[in-house]
């Protein structure tokens, strides 16, 4: 059994050998490792050593590293291998892994590598968009016609020897490669040898088309508790298969993307990005955010006399804005997640009314607390009343607005998560200060008492 400590010791030994430059021994030691662990080691080396190490690694093992690396780690591995040696490595990789790697290359390198590689299946895969079922599917599936017998299917598998994670289902197809259904390997084993596949085919298959968004494919897998989802073209012909392990990565990526986008981060953001690149990626939405923040600023400029004459009120106003911001961000988080998981099934009116009530109730409770503190500080009932009304009002508006922003983004065919918290706080800041300045201006004489 794999023992984490054993792996760690092995890695330490290997690192020592590498720093001594004993490549032969290091490689011999490390090829026993799981490719996922080896990939971690290789990626942790500094660039020069990584290149040297990959120079000494057999190409079939390097190919496996590509399979276990994350998207943002692929580029480091490519640089380590060198574009010139890439075709030899990709020759040994699964077609979908090779396609993912080639997608990371610049246009010229891409064409040269594809030409040197000369694998049609890889070229075919590259036509699909990155985030579609076609872009993540594997072409290493087992398909057979339905008039084949169980014994023939078993003989076929014995000759083909597909990797075990690819041989979970046999896909049953007609003469034109159109998907008819599946036979699990278990069914093969428990059926009599002369049965035909057609007799034991499960026709109730949840297939997707090559253009289906990867998030939708992951939802299909999750909804029906499947281990794999077949991918067909517009005519129903089987083109590939996406399996649970691919879709697991997809689900994690999509969740990260949503979390990042909500706060205005680029999905390429990573703790390993170079400083300038990280700063540059964040700048655009920060500038947009400044634009949205001006809404509150211009309200305060317009009512500058009120701020001057009731400065104490504007010591409390940021707390109201902060609170409304949290309220709105909470409800927009709920909506973004519900939209991502396909759980949002309520009508717009229902959402607005429900959230407005929740926001009002909680705003009133929190407003009472704020008003109490206000009274303790200033002994002015009018001030406390303004704080209570502003907090309740801002919170009543903030809760439904938080849910409506992602819905509005979706209606405009943008990602519902897209910087939703930035847009939400534009509204919540705006409303909060508006309540304070309008009420403050109207009751200014009582505030100055």
Please report, as residue ranges, which positions from 163 to 182 form the binding site for a second copy (by CB under 8 A). 164-165, 167-168, 179-181
**Looking at beta carbons only, is 113 or 333 nearer to a second copy?**
333
CB neighbour list of residue 94: distance below 8 Å, 6 or more residues apart: 67, 138, 140
- Minimal CA–CA distance to 388: which of 333, 425, 443, 330? 443
Among 49, 151, 361, 414, binds a second copy (CB under 8 A): 361
Whichever of 56 and 223 has its CB closer to a second copy, that residue is: 223
Q: Which is nearer to a second copy, 127 or 252 (CB)?
A: 252
Number of chain positions touching a second copy (CB under 8 A): 124
Which positions ≥6 away from 27 have C-beta within 8 Å? 53, 56, 57, 58
2 interacts with a second copy by CB under 8 A = yes
Residue 384: both structure tokens together:
């406390």
144 is a site residue for a second copy (CB under 8 A): no
Is residue 248 at the binding interface for a second copy, with CB under 8 A as the rule?
yes
Cβ proximity to a second copy: between 114 and 433 the closer is: 433
Residues 289-328 that bind a second copy (CB under 8 A): 289-290, 292-294, 296-298, 300-301, 304-305, 307-308, 311-312, 314-319, 321-323, 325-327
Residue 145, beta-bridge partner list: 173
Token reading at 196: 């035909």
Q: Is 171 helix (H, G, I), strand (E, B) or coil?
A: strand
Min. distance of Cβ 18 from a second copy in angstroms? 18
* Number of CB atoms found within 10 A of residue 129's CB: 12
The single residue among 259, 352, 385, 389 that binds a second copy, judged by CB under 8 A, is: 259
Give the chain's radius of gyration (CA, Å). 30
Residue closer to a second copy, measured from CB, 3 or 120: 3
Please name the residues in contact with 307: beta carbons below 8 A apart, sequence gap of 6 or more: 300, 314, 437, 440
Question: How far is C-alpha 344 from the chain's CA centre?
Answer: 19
Which residues, including other chains, have CB under 8 Å from residue 329's CB and lie 6 or more apart?
A: 402, 421, 424, 425
Q: How far is the CB of 387 from a second copy (least distance, A)?
A: 10
C-alpha span between 32 and 30 (Å, rounded): 5
Tokens linked to 9: 């010791």
**Is residue 397 a contact residue for a second copy (CB under 8 A)?**
no
Least distance in Å: CB of 258 to a second copy?
7
Shortest Å, Cβ 62 to a second copy: 17
Question: Among residue numbers 91 through 130, which ones bind a second copy (CB under 8 A)?
Answer: none
Binding residues for a second copy restricted to 8-47, rule: CB under 8 A? 34, 36
As a whole number of Å, the end-to-end CA separation of the chain is: 78
Token pair 């170079």 is at which residue?
A: 274
Site for a second copy in 213-232 (CB under 8 A): 218, 221-227
Instruction: Find the shortest distance in angstroms from Cβ 32 to a second copy.
Output: 9
Secondary structure class of 111 (helix, strand, coil): helix
407-436: contacts with a second copy (CB under 8 A): 421-422, 425, 429, 433
Residue 307 CB, shortest distance to a second copy, in Å, is: 4
Instruction: Answer for the pair 437, 300: CB distance below 8 angstroms, yes or no.
Output: yes
Please report whether residue 204 would count as binding a second copy according to CB under 8 A. Answer: yes
Give which of 112, 110, 102 is closest to 71, Cα–Cα: 102
Angle, vertex CA 365, rays to CA 360 and CA 370, nearest 5: 115
Closest approach, Cβ 85 to a second copy, in A, equals: 25
Give whole-number Cα distances, 187 to 182, 193, 198, in Å: 10, 11, 12
Question: How far is it, in rounded angstroms, from Cα 136 to Cα 220?
Answer: 15
- Shortest Cβ 311–a second copy spacing (Å): 4
Which positions from 363 through 382 interact with a second copy, judged by CB under 8 A?
365-366, 369-370, 373, 377
445 interacts with a second copy by CB under 8 A: no
* Binding residue for a second copy, selected from 10, 126, 157, 441, defined by CB under 8 A: 157
Identify residues 53-82 at the interface with a second copy (CB under 8 A). Answer: 67-68
- Could you tell me which stretch among 81-89, 90-98, 111-119, 288-296 binds a second copy (CB under 8 A)? 288-296
* 389 interacts with a second copy by CB under 8 A: no
At what angle are helices 47-56 and 4-19 packed, to 10 degrees? 100
In terms of CB distance, is 300 or 414 closer to a second copy? 300
């Amino acid at each position: 059994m794999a023992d984490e400590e054993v792996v760690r010791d092995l890695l330490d030994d290997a690192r020592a050998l590498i720093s001594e430059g004993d490549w032969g021994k290091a490689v011999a030691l490390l090829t026993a490792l799981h490719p996922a662990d080896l990939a971690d080691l290789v990626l942790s080396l500094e660039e020069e050593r990584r290149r040297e190490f990959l120079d000494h690694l057999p190409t079939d093992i390097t190919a496996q590293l590509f399979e276990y690396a994350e998207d943002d780690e692929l580029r480091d591995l490519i640089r380590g291998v060198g574009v010139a040696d890439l075709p030899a490595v990709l020759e040994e990789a699964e077609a979908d892994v090779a396609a993912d790697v080639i997608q990371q290359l610049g246009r010229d390198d891409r064409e040269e590598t594809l030409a040197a590689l000369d694998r049609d299946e890889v070229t075919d895969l590259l036509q699909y968009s990155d985030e579609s079922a076609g872009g993540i599917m594997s072409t290493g599936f087992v398909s057979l016609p339905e008039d084949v017998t169980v014994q023939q299917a078993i003989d076929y598998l014995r000759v083909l020897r597909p990797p075990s994670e690819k041989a979970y289902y046999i896909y049953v197809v007609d003469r034109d490669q159109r998907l008819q259904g599946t036979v699990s390997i278990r069914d093969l084993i428990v059926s009599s040898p002369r049965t035909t596949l057609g007799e034991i085919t499960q026709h109730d298959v949840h297939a997707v088309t090559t253009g289906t968004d990867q998030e939708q494919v992951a939802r299909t897998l999750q909804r029906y508790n499947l281990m794999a989802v077949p991918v067909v073209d517009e005519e129903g012909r089987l083109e590939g298969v996406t399996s649970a392990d691919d879709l697991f990565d997809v689900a994690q990526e999509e969740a990260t993307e949503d979390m990042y986008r909500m706060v205005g981060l680029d999905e390429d953001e990573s703790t390993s990005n170079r400083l300038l690149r990280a700063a540059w990626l964040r700048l655009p939405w920060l500038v947009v955010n400044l634009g949205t923040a001006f809404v509150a600023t211009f309200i305060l400029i317009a009512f500058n006399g009120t701020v001057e004459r009731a400065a104490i009120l504007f010591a409390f106003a940021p707390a109201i804005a902060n609170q409304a911001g949290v309220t709105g961000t909470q409800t927009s988080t709920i909506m973004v997640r519900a939209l991502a998981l396909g759980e949002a099934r309520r009508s717009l009116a229902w959402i607005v009314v429900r959230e407005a009530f929740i926001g009002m109730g909680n705003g009133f409770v929190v407003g009472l607390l704020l008003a109490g503190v206000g009274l303790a500080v200033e002994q002015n009932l009018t001030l406390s009343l303004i704080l209570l009304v502003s907090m309740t009002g801002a919170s009543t508006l903030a809760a439904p607005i938080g849910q409506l922003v992602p819905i509005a983004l979706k209606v405009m065919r943008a990602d519902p998560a897209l910087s939703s918290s930035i847009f939400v706080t534009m509204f919540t800041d705006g409303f909060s200060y508006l309540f304070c300045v309008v009420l403050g201006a109207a009751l200014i004489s009582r505030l100055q008492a």
